[in-house]
Amino acid sequence: MKLEHKDLLGLEYLSKAEIELILKTAKPFKEIFTRTVKKVPTLRGKTVVLLFYEPSTRTRTSFELAAKRLSADTVNIAISSSAVVKGESLIDTAKTIEAMKADFVIIRHSMSGAAHIIAKTISASVVNAGDGMHEHPTQGLLDMFTIIEKKGKIKGLNIAIIGDILHSRVARSNIWGLNKLGANVFVVGPSTLIPKEIKKMNVEVHYNIAEIIHKLDVVNILRIQKERQQQHLFPSLEEYSELFGINSEKLRNAKSDILIMHPGPMNRGIEISTEVADSKNSVITEQVTNGIAVRMAVLYLLAGGDGGECESFNS
């Protein structure tokens, strides 16, 4: 069993079996974090370039630790998005990285499709660390890993994603992944932030969480961006918080073991109350730990060469 593509661009492009392979592989990687030497030599001599066009301490650090714990060398390239229009083109940057013999390129970009452009251009494995409003596959995977860890399964669970669905790559990756693994996916948010056609992605749309809170096993709360207010998508953050912010009042009818998730960074008091974020139901910090394991699994599985199959006995 291996991944079909050289790149990980989105969960849309992975089969159910591939997603399951990544999640299964991630599990033993978590044990490495408990060792004195939190590092294995697997990707010794491999180079991982972290190409970040958007500031992201969290995702970048997670990928960097994942690579380092597999003994790969990492190089950070941070390019501000404002430089994109004037500076070197994405394709030229990609070709430059290729010429430097990188084995992996982890790319974060503010524009949808950027990872595809790089993947088409170079032979190194490209991992999409978030492209515009499109996908953020490793976030989707780590969310699923966390759910399986806590609930033992994904199939049949009622899972709601709450917030700005329209602009969220996290939402899209979760919807693809969760559906492939058999969850019932709900999206909840202001009607201006839920695209009409999202229903065709096999999700149930709600504008009021109270309608479904009693049956939910997981709520995944998205970060709300202040800029959306200027785009006439909702009148004020205060109003957003009142209607969609998750607090203990809104969770009153929730199952006692409901999982609270958030991809971070959180706007406490806006989309999530501090009480909820720090409650026993919250797995937000565990998502961070699991993120490294999942990213290690992804790097490991993409690292295969062109050689023969491994001899599974007598070595």
Partner 1 sequence: MEANVNLLILNGTVCDPANRTYKKADIFIENGKIKKCSPRIYSGVNEAKIIDAKGKIVVPGLIDIHTHLREPGREDEETIRTGTSAAAVGGFTTICCMPNTNPVIDSVSGVKFVFATAHQEGVVNVLPIGAITKKSEGLELAEIGKMKNAGIVAISDDGKPVMNANIMRRALEYCKMLDIPVISHCEDANLSALGEMNEGYISTLLGLKGIPKQAEEIMVARDIALCELTEGKLHIAHVSTAHSVELIRDAKKRGIKVTAETAPQYFSLTDEEVKISNYNTNTKVNPPLRTKEDVNAILRGLADGTIDCIASDHAPHLIEEKEQEYKIAPFGIIGLETTLPLVITNIVNEKILSLSSAISKLTYNPAKILGLEKGTLAVGSDADITIIDLNKTKPIQKFESKCKNSPFIGMKLTGFATTTIVAGKIIMEDGNIVST
Partner 2 sequence: MKLIQKKIIMNEEEMKRTLKRLTHEIIEKSHGIENLVLVGIQTRGVYLAKRISLELKKITKKIVSLGILDITLYRDDVTSISHQPIVKETKIQFDVTGKNVILVDDVLFTGRTIRSAIDEIIDFGRPKTIKLAVLVDRGGRELPIQPDFVGKKFPISKNELICVHLKEIDKIDSVVLKEKR
And the tokens for 8? 């990980």
Binding to partner 1 (CB under 8 A): which residues in 11-70?
Answer: 12
Shortest distance (Å) from residue 174 CB to partner 2: 25
Q: Does 180 bind partner 1 (CB under 8 A)?
A: no
Q: Which stretch, 16-24, 43-51, 111-119, 266-274, contacts partner 1 (CB under 8 A)?
A: 111-119
Burial of 152 (0-12, 13-18, 19+ CB in 10 A): exposed
CA quadruple 169, 173, 176, 177: dihedral, nearest 10: -170
The interface partner of residue 201, options being partner 2, partner 1, none and the CB cut-off 5 to 8 Å by kind, is partner 1
Q: Which of 18, 64, 103, 131 binds partner 1 (CB under 8 A)?
A: 131
Q: Does 264 bind partner 1 (CB under 8 A)?
A: no
The interface partner of residue 266, options being partner 2, partner 1, none and the CB cut-off 5 to 8 Å by kind, is none
Shortest distance (Å) from residue 31 CB to partner 2: 6
Per residue, the 3-state secondary structure of 47-61, as one string, reads EEEEEECCCCHHHHH
Q: Which stretch, 99-107, 131-139, 150-158, 262-270, contacts partner 1 (CB under 8 A)?
A: 131-139
Q: Which of 172, 180, 228, 295 binds partner 1 (CB under 8 A)?
A: 172
Q: Which residue has the tokens 């033992």?
A: 152
The interface partner of residue 109, options being partner 2, partner 1, none and the CB cut-off 5 to 8 Å by kind, is partner 1
Shortest distance (Å) from residue 285 CB to partner 2: 23
Q: Does 117 bind partner 1 (CB under 8 A)?
A: yes
Question: Which amino acid, one-letter code, is at 116?
Answer: H
Question: In the complex with partner 2, which residue's Cβ is closer, 138 or 220?
Answer: 138
β-pairing, 158-162 with 104-109? unpaired
β-pairing, 158-162 with 73-78? unpaired
Residue 12 to residue 178: CA distance in whole angstroms: 11
Q: Which of 200, 256, 307, 312 binds partner 1 (CB under 8 A)?
A: 200
Question: In the complex with partner 2, which residue's Cβ is closer, 84 or 303?
Answer: 303
Q: Which of 46, 60, 69, 134 binds partner 1 (CB under 8 A)?
A: 134
Strand partners, 218: 159, 259
CA distances from 224 to 9, 196, 228, 272 (A): 24, 19, 8, 10
Burial code (b: 16+ CB inside 10 Å, e: under 16) for 239-262 equals ebbeebbbbeebbeebeeebbbbb
Residues lying near partner 1 in the complex (CB under 8 A) are found at: 12, 84-85, 89-91, 109, 111-114, 116-117, 120, 131-135, 169, 172, 195, 197-198, 200-201
